[in-house]
A and B are shown apart, each in its own frame.
Chain A
Amino acid sequence: MNALLAVLWKDLLTELRSRDRAIAMLLFSMLMVVIFHFSLPGGATAATRAYAPGLLWVAYVFAALLGLGRSFAIELENGAIEVLARAPVDRGWVLLGKTLANMLILGVVQALTALVFALFFEMNLLPVALPLAGVVALGSLGLCAVGTFFAAVAVRTRLREVMLPLLALPFYIPVLVAATRATNTLLETGSVSFASIHFLLVTDGSYLIASFILSDFVLDE
């Protein structure tokens, strides 16, 4: 537990000082919104609002992949990954600490992206802000749990960060499917889709447990 908090604190502090990941992720999301506008027939307006939830999650996924890849690249730079690997705790805690840090950083980017989306697609997110935040958080937990885990693997291959999307996407599909459904339902009807939430919880839980158990092997030599 100590280790988890230590890693969480360290990651957030490092990010606060350099801000390189958050800025890159944010810029990337904004670019994606602009690209979405130009690729939709008629542009991003109230008329194409139906596409918004799906596109929002696409932006989230790509921003996440960008940030998650970096989270371990940083450790590799000064050999800090060995320090993490040698921590006298279950390595799962170290990965979990990083997952939470990634979620928080991603969360900031997600909130700002949602605002921009709301602006372009002329949606009023205020009435559903809280449940929406909940859905996004649940989805992000899945994305970050899997992403952080595979980032540890990816950075130690020849392709480095580029390997991460290849590894993670098959695992992202269930999260995406449920999260977009939940977001859709929320934005269209204002109510919560319990089936989606339930599924997200099961998926997140499975991913967290699996990565905890397998974490030992991933931080080895």
Chain B
Amino acid sequence: MTDAIAKPEQHPTPSAGGGARRVSAAALAVSFALWAYLVYAAPLDSVQGLIQKILYVHVPCWFAAYAGFALTAVCGGLYLWKNDERYDRVAVAGAEVGVVFCTLGLVTGPIWAKGTWGHWWAWDPRLTMTLVLWFIYLAYLLLRSFTEGSTRTARFASVYGIAGLAAVPLNYFAIELFGGAAMHPDNLERGSLGEGMGWPFAAGAITALLAMLHLVLLRVDLERRRAAEGPSTPDWASAEGD
């Protein structure tokens, strides 16, 4: 009888199993179709023309980017509290999916900006905030990949995620109070949206969140399967607390 030093642990199947993924995939497909139709059918903005439609992608991305970070931070807190590595898996999933949406938002934003104001970039609060968020995401992911030992990685990442949550409002107010003039169109929020423009935005937000949910579920499952296999580098390398 031989027992190996590295015993593959049998983790309990997380609640996000195949069933949940199928449901989220279906919901995503429906939502996406609806959103695509609404974007197509939406009236052209009288001032900006066709380029305004890219906002139907940009705003939901921005939404998902922040939601992703909130998820990462909250799961980080839960991990520190409960010491259950499943929370850390959701946290890393949230970060990896969130950074994709953040990147998408950073790409679509300037495209729209160039089309409407003629500048690729502006240092207004919202765009700058998205950039700062992007940097926080990257720092989070780099921290994870350069830390050795999954326990230490999870702990450091959780701490950074929570700290990042504090950085977001501070950065926002700093830029708003002391930064450049605001050029972001405030009418994106509510109120002066033109007739028939509210629905595509709503559908977009829902689609983005569903996409995020689905991708997070996929990523968590991937992480779970990785954890069930053997380690790639010996974790005890970091065990002597250096």
Chain A residues near B (Cβ < 8 Å):
76, 79, 81-82, 85, 149, 153, 156-159, 163, 166-167, 169-171, 173-174, 177-178, 181, 195-196, 199, 202-203, 206-207, 210, 214, 217-218, 220-221
Contact = CB atoms under 8 A, between A and B. Distances in A.
A177 B180 CA distance: 11
Given A167-B139, A206-B166, A217-B158, A174 B174 contact: yes
A196 B174 CA distance: 9
B171 A174 contact: yes
B142 A163 contact: yes
Q: Which of B138, B164, B241 has the most CB of A within 10 A?
A: B241
Contacts of A196: 178
Nearest to B239: A221
B226 to A, nearest CB: 20
Contacts of A221: 151-152, 239, 241
Contacts of A207: 166
B179 A170 contact: no
B135 A170 contact: yes
B132 A178 contact: no
B167 to A, nearest CB: 5
A156 B80 CA distance: 18
Given A170-B132, A210-B166, A218 B146 contact: no
Contacts of B136: 170
A169 B135 contact: yes
A171 B239 contact: no
Nearest to B151: A221
B78 to A, nearest CB: 13
A174 B162 contact: no
Contact of A214 (B135, B152, B162): B162
Nearest to A215: B159
28 contacts: A76-B242, A82-B241, A85-B241, A153-B159, A153-B160, A156-B147, A156-B156, A157-B143, A158-B146, A158-B147, A159-B146, A163-B142, A163-B146, A167-B139, A169-B135, A170-B136, A170-B164, A170-B171, A177-B174, A178-B178, A199-B173, A199-B177, A202-B170, A203-B174, A210-B166, A218-B156, A221-B151, A221-B241
A181 B158 CA distance: 33
B139 A157 contact: no
**Chain A to chain B: the 8 pairs with minimum beta-carbon distance, closest first:** A174-B174, A177-B174, A174-B170, A157-B146, A158-B146, A170-B136, A157-B147, A221-B241
Q: Which of A174, A207, A217, A218 has the most CB of B within 10 A?
A: A174
Interface in B158-192: 158-160, 162-164, 166-167, 170-171, 173-175, 177-179
A92 to B, nearest CB: 13
Interface residues of B, number: 34
Contacts of A170: 132, 135-136, 139, 164, 167, 171
Contacts of A203: 170, 174
Nearest to A155: B242
Nearest to B148: A158
Contacts of B160: 153, 167
B152 A156 contact: yes
B72 to A, nearest CB: 14
Contacts of B163: 149, 171, 210, 214
A65 to B, nearest CB: 14
A201 to B, nearest CB: 12
Contacts of B166: 206-207, 210
Nearest to B168: A170
A217 B142 contact: no
A217 B162 CA distance: 12
A130 to B, nearest CB: 23
A167 B143 contact: yes
B155 interface: yes
Contacts of A220: 155
Contact of A173 (B142, B148, B155, B174): B174
A79 B240 CA distance: 10
A206 B163 CA distance: 10
A166 B139 CA distance: 6
Nearest to A81: B241
Contacts of B132: 170, 173
A199 B174 contact: yes
